[in-house]
Amino acid sequence: MKLITSGPQVLNGDVAVSGAKNSATRLLAASLLTNEPVRLRNFPLALEDGKAKMAFIRQMGASVIERPEISELDIHAASLSFDPIEDFELPIRTTYLLAAGALAREGRARVPYPGGCKIGSRGYDLHVMVWEKLGCEVVETEPFIEVKGSLKGGLIDFPLSTVGGTENALMCASVAEGETEIRNAYVTPEVHDLIAFLREMGARIELEGASHIRVHGAGGPLRGASYSVMPDRIEALTWIVLGAVSGGTLRIANVPFDTMEVPLIHLRDCGIDLYRNAEGVMISPDCIGKHGIQPFELACGTHPGVITDMQSFFTFLGLFANGRSKVFDYRYPERIAYVSELARFAPDALEAQPGRITTYGPTPLKGAHGRSTDLRGSMTLVMAALCAQGESQVEGVEMALRGYNNLADKLAALGAECAWLD
């Protein structure tokens, strides 16, 4: 899919942050841990990743009813099996979370390779470890990873902190028989959301400190629940940064302040003073200090800091700052492919090497053709296209639609004129 637009465009109006992608798709998988009905409120139904997972679990036998007018999703997995599945190509990373529900019912699961990675890449070693530590046998076949066995509590000591591994361990341990201890867990706000949902379903989970978890397994399926997905902190930052540089007035609702304190501190320190109330912000040219946006240096890392998914938006902001800014990321140093595409809009204003990005601002953005390299990078190119002088095209913009619910409609409501071409 390609986006075509001409700018610069001044955006004005109201926009509401949707339910968090990195929570919603996990809660959708967790809804398979019960034979009873589940209702997920504030669910981002238009996300491509969510659509793909919903289609897959329907094939597994679950009832999934979408209510787009109220952003709700009803799931009822009275029965569940991988036997009807013929195509195991699922273009999402969190396929491993589909195992726990089937293991709790019939002791076997066929898991699509995460994100389409094949035998040999082994980007799922920690998930194999989770299943084996909890008493299962794991066999890698050509179309899928086969997991067999009765889940039993055990000790899971991750050699490195992992969000996905922590989520998989929590879900499997909740329906296992006996107690599971999880060490070196990575508990992000989205993992907190998963824990809260599992507790609503009857799971007994004790969080000790920041990285130690005990789960007292139910020995089988949990109970049904109704739960509201947390707002998306990454989407909230996206709209705030776009509002700061586009010259209009944006009123952004449903902002999860408690999950993004450090990123907001960085925005304040570079001269952006937001008008805020209990659940939202307003940003306009009046929010920018008299000396403009100030250059900054920051390092991406783990929560509660600036996470890597926020990196590209601070890089984009640096193009509007009055001087040289630097963004460091030694946790994921190679996630810089989008920089060369963003540089098409800002020639000679960006430098990148593994772990470090430098911007030289302020620089006027010029219309360009950019190609999406990843989800967040794709959204950054969309922002650049809206702010650039002249016509721009962004190819592969469907990547942005994986993480931004109703993106085209939200931009149109703010006055953006864009063509979205298949």
Tokens of 357: 């990005």
Token pair of 98 as six digits: 């589909």
Handedness of CA 111, 115, 116, 119 (dihedral sign): negative
Q: Among 4, 87, 10, 77, which Cα is nearest to 52's? A: 87
| Short-list 195, 186, 139, CA closest to 159 | 186
Q: How many CB atoms lie within 10 A of CB 202?
A: 15
Closest-CA residue to 272 (of 259, 258, 282, 260)? 282
Q: Hey, which residues are catalytic here?
A: 117
Distances (CA, A) of 79 to 35, 62, 176, 255, 320: 7, 7, 18, 37, 54
Q: Do the strands 390-395 and 369-371 form a parallel or antiparallel pair, or are they unpaired?
A: parallel
Tokens of 348: 């000679």
Burial class (CB in 10 A: 0-12, 13-18, 19+), 89: exposed
Q: How many angstroms separate the CA atoms of 407 and 412, rounded?
A: 9
**In contact, 161 and 211? CB cutoff 8 Å:** yes
User: What is the amino acid identity at position 38?
Assistant: V
Return d(Cα 311, Cα 342) in angstroms, integer: 13
Neighbour tally for 6: CB within 10 Å = 16
Q: How many CA atoms lie within 13 A of 241 on its CB side?
A: 29
In angstroms, the CA 283 to CA 412 distance is: 18
Tell how many helices (H) and how many strands (E) occur in the chain: 13, 23
